[in-house]
Amino acid sequence: MTTVLNVEAVNRSFGERQVLKDVSFTVESGRLTGFVGANGAGKTTTMRIILGVLAADTGTVTWCGNPVTREDRQGFGYMPEERGLYPKMTVTEQIVYLGRLHGLGTADAKRRTATLLERLELTERANDPVEKLSLGNQQRAQIAAALVHDPQLLVLDEPFSGLDPIAVETVLAVLRERARTGTAVLFSSHQLELVERLCDDLVIIADGTIRAAGSRTWLREQYTLPRFEIEVDTDAGWLRDQPGVTLIELDGHRAVFDLAAEADEQPILRAALDRGPVRTFAPIRPSLAEIFREVIR
Ligand SMILES: Nc1ncnc2c1ncn2[C@@H]1O[C@H](COP(=O)(O)OP(=O)(O)OP(=O)(O)O)[C@@H](O)[C@H]1O
């Protein structure tokens, strides 16, 4: 795992409005990095700056330690928010053409296109004009277009939006395969459950400011609430009187409670055992959605 992309102190305004404020984060090779934020948070603007489609007012983007060059960008794959395939071209023609723009020879581009279409389950549509494809299939074609030249960095703006659940699984698998072979993948998504399943690393942005960034495991540890679930054979109402306990939910035998930072959970477990059998006693790990809500508050 090596840091390949480094976004450092990037600022960008449109007119009077500053939409990126000191945005800094890194993307590692061989890892899937989810870029998460509400509508208008600044994800697309950041991605455009990484790809050089838009300039930063101040700040830098480096690739392997040096400012990103045109040649580096030839080796990047980008799926923009506005899905710009040529409607009249067939799927194969379009992807081969884009592969050639990224420096592939025709035969190589054709071979790679056929393999990718097969992998993305689009072979049956290979000779159809793009405009004849369903939106979900156009989306798969866009993903193929971003992948055809085997990019070292893949930047995908909402790659899962508009895909049915089966297509989501196919695309997830393809992205995982790419990461396994060393590609650095940065993708934005609103679908937090998907991000949670897919990502190794996360970058959370709100109002143009990075609120949290790091590995999914690290973030979960950082934001683990001192929250526990308990299930006993008798009524769990006694928990109310335990020092440091705030009851969140009480449903007869089952309860969810928060523990004050200085309190220890073991005395609570002992108190429970004194009253009878304990069926469950475990910390509750926050979901990404919960972390997200807490971080952007
Ligand atoms: N070309 C532009 N001119 C003026 N304002 C812009 C321009 N591009 C983006 N913005 C504004 O910058 C802010 C950030 O937009 P951006 O598209 O980066 O957000 P986003 O996180 O990608 O949101 P979404 O998930 O809705 O795509 C928004 O308020 C948007 O209106």
pLDDT tens sequence for the chain (297 residues):
799 999 999 999 999 999 999 999 999 999 999 999 988 999 999 999 999 999 999 999 999 999 999 899 999 999 988 777 888 999 999 999 999 999 999 999 999 999 999 999 999 999 999 999 998 899 999 999 999 999 999 999 999 988 989 999 999 999 999 999 999 999 998 888 888 888 999 999 999 999 999 998 888 877 767 889 999 999 999 999 999 999 999 999 999 999 988 889 999 999 999 999 999 999 887 788 888 887 877
Q: Which atom of ligand 1 is nearest to the CA of 47?
A: 18
Per-residue pLDDT, 219: 86
pLDDT at 295: 80
Ligand 1, CB cutoff 6 Å, lining residues: 14, 19, 37, 39-45, 81
Intra-chain end-to-end CA distance of the chain, in Å:
31
Q: Residue 79 has which token pair?
A: 């799926």
Q: Give the mutation target among 14, 191, 207, 292 for probing the ligand 1 site: most ligand atoms within 8 A of CB.
A: 14
Residue nearest to atom 29 of ligand 1 (CA): 40
Q: Which atom of ligand 1 is nearest to the CA of 15?
A: 4
CA distance 93 to 80: 19
Residues in Cβ contact with 201 at an 8 Å cutoff, skipping those fewer than 6 apart: 27, 28, 31, 32, 33, 34, 213, 214, 215, 216
Reading phi first (left if > 0) and then psi (alpha if -120 to 50, else beta), residue 30 is in left
Residue 39 Cα: closest atom of ligand 1: 26
What is d(CA 148, CA 102) in angstroms, rounded to the nearest whole number? Answer: 9
Q: What is the pLDDT of residue 273?
A: 96
Q: Which atom of ligand 1 is nearest to the CA of 20?
A: 14
Which residues 6+ apart lie within 8 Å of 66 measured at CB?
none
Best probe residue, ligand 1, of 13, 45, 190, 195 (max atoms within 8 Å of C-beta):
45
Assess contact for 147 and 154: CB atoms under 8 A. Answer: yes
Are the beta carbons of 144 and 115 closer than 8 angstroms? no
Classify residue 76 by its DSSP letter: E
Q: How many CB atoms lie within 10 A of CB 64?
A: 13
Determine whether 16 is exposed, middle or buried from the number of CB atoms within 10 Å of its CB (0-12, 13-18, 19+). Answer: exposed
The set of long-range contacts for 231-235, using a CB threshold of 8 Å and a minimum separation of 24, is 231/255, 231/278, 231/279, 231/280, 231/281, 232/272, 232/275, 232/276, 232/277, 232/278, 232/279, 233/276, 233/277, 233/279, 234/275, 234/276
CA of 160 to the centre of ligand 1 (A): 19
Ligand 1 centroid distance, CA of 19 (Å): 7
Which pLDDT score, from 0 to 100, does residue 281 have? 96
Among 11, 20, 36, 44, name the best residue to mutate to test ligand 1's pocket (greatest count of ligand atoms within 8 A of Cβ): 44
Distance 158 CA to ligand 1 centre (A): 14
Task: Give the pLDDT score at 169.
Answer: 92
